[in-house]
């Protein structure tokens, strides 16, 4: 099951990221995971948040360009080599990972995957005995 990630395009200059986090903090939107990719002119912030609808509306009201992207979020074992073995499975199934990032929980690591074939990736992850997280569960981790 996919969840919605909030992606925000930012100008690459000092203070812009702080403006984004300030808008979210002021409106009690909790960032659960974050990835920042940049070029010389702009950056893309990818986030999992506790309230996707609220975050997207607030950002748009404050003149941020925000979009929603479906991603897979799975709990994996937090031990050396586990991710490597999982990625071998993706390679063997010819599933391309466009990008990924992670966040840590108390007992598990949580991987966020954007892939070229969501259904195939979900089947592969489920065959490996992994559990997907729902939008609601992300807030509770």
Which of the listed residues 40, 69, 98 is the one where a domain comes to its end? 69
The pLDDT value given to residue 14: 87
80 and 34 co-located in one domain: no
pLDDT digits (tens, 9 = 90+) for 72-112: 999 888 888 999 999 999 999 999 999 999 888 777 888 89
Which of the listed residues 18, 53, 69 is the one where a domain comes to its end? 69
End-to-end CA distance of the chain: give it in Å, rounded: 17
61, 27 Cβ separation under 8 angstroms: no
- Look up the pTM and report it: 0.85
**Secondary structure of residue 134 in the 3-state scheme:** coil
The pLDDT value given to residue 77: 86
Q: How far apart are CA 64 and CA 20, in angstroms?
A: 8
| Domain of residue 119, CATH code | 3.30.70.260
- Confidence class for position 6, pLDDT limits 50, 70, 90: very high
Q: How far apart are CA 71 and CA 89, in angstroms?
A: 18
60 and 96 co-located in one domain: no
Which of the listed residues 69, 95, 115 is the one where a domain comes to its end? 69
**Secondary structure of residue 43 in the 3-state scheme:** strand
């Amino acid at each position: 099951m996919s969840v919605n990630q909030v992606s925000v395009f930012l100008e690459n200059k000092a203070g812009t990221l702080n403006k984004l986090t300030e808008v979210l903090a002021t409106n009690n939107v909790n960032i659960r995971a974050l990835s920042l990719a940049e070029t010389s002119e702009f950056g893309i912030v990818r986030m999992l948040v506790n309230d996707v609808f609220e975050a997207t509306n607030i950002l748009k009201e404050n003149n941020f360009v925000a979009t929603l992207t479906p991603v897979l979020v799975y709990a994996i074992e937090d031990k050396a080599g586990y991710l490597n073995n999982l990625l071998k499975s993706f390679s063997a199934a010819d599933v391309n990972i466009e990008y990924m990032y992670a966040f840590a929980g108390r007992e598990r690591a949580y991987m966020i995957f954007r892939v070229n074939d969501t259904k195939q990736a979900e089947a592969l992850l489920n065959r490996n005995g992994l559990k997907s997280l729902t939008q609601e569960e992300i807030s509770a981790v």
